[in-house]
Chains A and B, each alone.
Chain A
Amino acid sequence: MSGDFIRRDRAWHPPGLTPNYKTSVLRAPRRALLSFEQSIGEKSGPAFGHGAIDPLDNDLIANFNTGAPALGERILLHGRVLDECGRPVPHTLIEIWQANAAGRYRHVNDGYLAPLDPNFGGCGRTLSDAEGRYHFLTIKPGPYPWRNNGSDWRAAHIHLSIFGEAFAQRLITQIYFEGDPLIALCPIVNTIPDKRAIDMLIARLDMGEMAPFDRLAYRFDIVLRGRRATYFENRTEGA
Chain B
Amino acid sequence: MPVDYLKETPSQTAGPYVHIGTLPAAAGLPLRTQENLHVLAQGAAAGERIRLEGVIHDGAGAPVKDAMLEIWQADASGRYNAPGFSGWGRTAADFKTGEWFFETVKPGPTPWRDGRLQAPHVSLLIFARGINIHLHTRAYFSDETAANEADPVLRAIEQRNRVPTLIAQRSTRGGQTVYRFDVWLQHDERETVFFDM
* Pair from one complex: yes
Q: Give A residues with C-beta under 8 Å from B.
A: 6-10, 12-16, 18, 21, 23-31, 33-42, 44-47, 82-86, 95-98, 105-110, 121-125, 159, 161, 167-168, 170-174, 188-189, 191-192, 196-198, 200-201, 222-226, 234, 236-238
> How far apart sit A33 and B121, CA to CA, in the bound complex (Å)?
18
Known: A84-B5, A97-B18, A159-B18. A26 touches B191 (CB 8 A): no
> How far apart sit A31 and B161, CA to CA, in the bound complex (Å)?
13
**CB-based nearest B residue for A238:** B111
Give chain B residues whose Cβ lies under 8 Å from the Cβ of A86: 5-6
Segment from B56-64, B139-147, B171-179 that makes contact with A: B56-64
A113 to chain B, nearest CB (A): 16
The residue from B9, B21, B156 contacting A222, defined by CB atoms under 8 A apart: B9
Return the CB mask of B1-23 against A: 1 if under 8 Å, else 0.
00001111111111111111110
Known: A27-B59, A226-B5. A170 touches B24 (CB 8 A): no
Give chain B residues whose Cβ lies under 8 Å from the Cβ of A15: 132
Question: Cβ of B160 < 8 Å from any Cβ of A?
Answer: no
**CB-based nearest A residue for B13:** A188
A57 to chain B, nearest CB (A): 9
Give chain B residues whose Cβ lies under 8 Å from the Cβ of A28: 59, 130-132, 185-186
The residue from A34, A36, A159 contacting B14, defined by CB atoms under 8 A apart: A159
Given pairs A84-B5, A109-B66, A167-B123, 15 additional interface contacts (CB within 8 A): A7-B196, A8-B8, A13-B8, A26-B186, A27-B186, A34-B193, A37-B197, A41-B121, A46-B87, A84-B6, A97-B17, A122-B20, A167-B125, A174-B15, A224-B9
Whether the Cβ atoms of B135 and A121 lie closer than 8 Å is: no
The residue from A12, A44, A123 contacting B8, defined by CB atoms under 8 A apart: A12
Q: Is chain B's binding surface mostly helix, strand, loop or mixed? A: loop
Whether the Cβ atoms of B59 and A14 lie closer than 8 Å is: no
Whether the Cβ atoms of B195 and A36 lie closer than 8 Å is: yes
> How far apart sit A37 and B131, CA to CA, in the bound complex (Å)?
23
The residue from A14, A18, A95, A121 contacting B22, defined by CB atoms under 8 A apart: A95
Known: A106-B27, A159-B15, A172-B134. A26 touches B60 (CB 8 A): yes
Whether the Cβ atoms of B9 and A196 lie closer than 8 Å is: no
Whether the Cβ atoms of A223 and B20 lie closer than 8 Å is: no
Whether the Cβ atoms of A33 and B9 lie closer than 8 Å is: no
- Interface residue count for B (Cβ, 8 Å)? 71
Give chain B residues whose Cβ lies under 8 Å from the Cβ of A188: 12-13
B63 to chain A, nearest CB (A): 12
Whether the Cβ atoms of A107 and B20 lie closer than 8 Å is: yes
Give chain B residues whose Cβ lies under 8 Å from the Cβ of A44: 72, 80-81
Return the CB mask of B69-90 against A: 1 if under 8 Å, else 0.
0101110000011000011100
> How far apart sit A40 and B72, CA to CA, in the bound complex (Å)?
11
Whether the Cβ atoms of B31 and A29 lie closer than 8 Å is: no
Segment from B46-54, B97-105, B112-120 that makes contact with A: B112-120
Give chain A residues whose Cβ lies under 8 Å from the Cβ of B93: none
Give chain B residues whose Cβ lies under 8 Å from the Cβ of A47: 81
